[in-house]
């Protein structure tokens, strides 16, 4: 037997229209609030730089403030691509040869968070220390 | 043998392999054959090559957020495809109509393409690092081939494990696995957007890495099948749960609606 499913019955449609203005206003409100929070927070986000040279991370240990979002600028000086990866930080990003990128990390609880270059695991190892 | 190359290729093919095996069982059940799969996979790999070639430029978009934004877009698109495939597969108890099967074919092809673009491009970029030395490249490629075979075998195992089940069970397994894989896609994509600050970041809700580490083999399998994440942030957790519940919610909703309209029809 075949039954047709009406996703928008007529009774719902009228209510939908009266709601739409309120909904739209609410959406704009949330969006602008989110945007302004993002902008204001961004301005206060500290930046740290990490370099990749000969498949090694410099510095191999980065100390960052705990419980604060930070911006990590990763500069790959090698000709070959690398993938910044960390299970503890939940991060994964390819950085092409001779280029740089930005990765946001945290806010982190105090502790050590190892990371590695997935394409050169044997040498590219490091950790973020949140204090 | 380059162990690293084996692991990288295995990790990527494992995830795509499990997904593709389920899609192939659906195709078999819908009587769509397997030829489309080869075409979609080939197109996906060409797409992966193009994506890998331009990833350097793409990465610069949106103040270095390009890579994550494009990857997240691919993952969300894949989620939508999988949801529709799940629903079509769940509701077409009778033989599918001509129009439905064309749509199903399209969705299956797009899903395979989307999955292979993302996973394939990472593998291609990895190998470009070995381009300067022919000997090293051959070594990396042979090691990668081993990874591909292991990942492919897991996929094949999944495929046969599903089609050997009783017919009434098959649909439930397909729906279950696809729902989990699809929700995992959303979790991954959301994490990518948190990484570039497009979604709000916050402290992790919990940390289960002491029980199941993401770097362990079991953790990797869990990641590939349902997007296991040892320390998720609130946004990821919420989006994961919502996307996980969406498919069962639609099934329950439609079931209730059908029951209601049936009882109304009988009372008239």
Searching chain A, which residue's CA lies closest to the CA of residue B209?
Answer: A88
Q: What is the bridge-based pairing of β-strands A125-130 and A82-86?
A: unpaired
**Domain B3-267 belongs to what topology?**
Growth Hormone; Chain: A; (1.20.1250)
Q: How far is A118 from chain B (nearest CA, A)?
A: 8
Tokens of B172: 């439930």
Q: List, for residues B148-200, the tens digit of each pLDDT value.
A: 999 999 999 999 999 999 888 999 999 999 999 999 999 999 999 999 999 99
B217 touches chain A (CB under 8 A): no
Q: Write down the pTM of the prediction.
A: 0.85
Tokens, residue B159: 């495929």
Give dist(CA A117, CA A85) in Å, integer: 6
The verdict on B104 touching A (C-beta cutoff 8 Å) is no
Q: Phi then psi for A29, rounded to 5 degrees?
A: -60, -50
Facing residue for B64 by CB, picked from A90, A101, A106? A101
Q: What is the ipTM of this complex?
A: 0.87
b/e for A93-129, b at 16 or more Cβ within 10 A?
A: bbbbbebbbbbbbbbbeeeebebbbbbbbeebebbbe
Q: Report the CATH fold assignment for A47-130.
A: Immunoglobulin-like (2.60.40)
Residue pair A40/A33 in contact by the 8 Å Cβ criterion: no
Task: Return per-residue pLDDT of chain A as tens, 131 residues.
Answer: 445 555 555 554 555 555 677 777 788 877 777 766 665 555 579 999 999 999 999 999 999 999 999 999 999 999 999 999 999 999 999 999 999 999 999 899 999 999 999 999 999 999 999 99
Closest CB from A99, A109, A119 relative to B126: A119
Q: Residue B124 CB: number of other CB atoms within 10 A?
A: 18
């Amino acid at each position: 037997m075949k039954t047709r499913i009406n996703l928008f019955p007529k009774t719902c449609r009228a209510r939908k229209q009266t709601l739409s203005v309120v909904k739209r206003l609410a959406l704009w409100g949330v969006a602008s609030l989110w945007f302004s929070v993002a902008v204001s927070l961004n301005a206060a986000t500290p930046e740290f730089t990490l370099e990749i040279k000969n498949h090694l991370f410099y510095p191999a240990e980065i100390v960052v403030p705990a419980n604060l979002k930070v911006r990590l600028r990763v500069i790959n000086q090698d000709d070959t691509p690398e993938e910044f990866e960390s299970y503890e930080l939940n991060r994964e990003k390819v950085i092409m040869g001779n280029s740089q990128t930005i990765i946001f990390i945290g806010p982190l609880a105090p502790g050590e968070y190892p990371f590695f270059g997935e394409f050169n695991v044997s040498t590219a190892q490091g950790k973020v220390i949140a204090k | 043998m380059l162990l690293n190359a084996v692991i990288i290729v295995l990790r990527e093919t494992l995830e795509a392999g499990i997904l593709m095996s389920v899609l192939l069982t659906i195709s078999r059940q819908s009587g769509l054959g397997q030829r489309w799969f080869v075409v979609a996979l080939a197109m996906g790999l060409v797409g992966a090559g193009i994506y890998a070639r331009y990833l350097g430029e793409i990465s610069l978009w949106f103040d270095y957020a390009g890579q994550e934004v494009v990857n997240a877009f691919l993952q969300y698109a894949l989620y939508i495809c999988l949801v529709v495939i799940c629903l079509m597969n769940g509701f077409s108890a009778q033989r599918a109509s001509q129009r439905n099967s064309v749509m199903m074919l399209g969705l299956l092809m797009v899903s395979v393409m989307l999955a292979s673009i993302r996973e394939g491009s990472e593998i291609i970029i990895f190998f470009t690092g070995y381009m300067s030395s022919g000997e090293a490249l051959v070594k990396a490629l042979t090691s990668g081939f081993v990874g591909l075979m292991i990942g492919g075998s897991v996929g094949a195992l999944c495929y046969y494990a599903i089609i050997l089940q009783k017919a009434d069970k098959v649909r439930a397994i397909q729906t279950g696995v696809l729902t989990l894989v699809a929700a995992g896609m959303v979790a991954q994509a959301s994490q990518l957007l948190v990484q570039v600050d497009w979604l709000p970041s916050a402290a992790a809700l919990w940390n289960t890495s002491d029980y199941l580490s993401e770097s362990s083999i079991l953790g990797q399998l869990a990641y590939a099948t349902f997007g296991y994440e040892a320390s998720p942030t609130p946004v990821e957790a919420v989006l994961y749960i919502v996307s996980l519940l969406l498919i069962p919610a639609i099934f329950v909703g439609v079931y209730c609606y059908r029951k209601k309209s049936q009882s109304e029809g009988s009372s008239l």
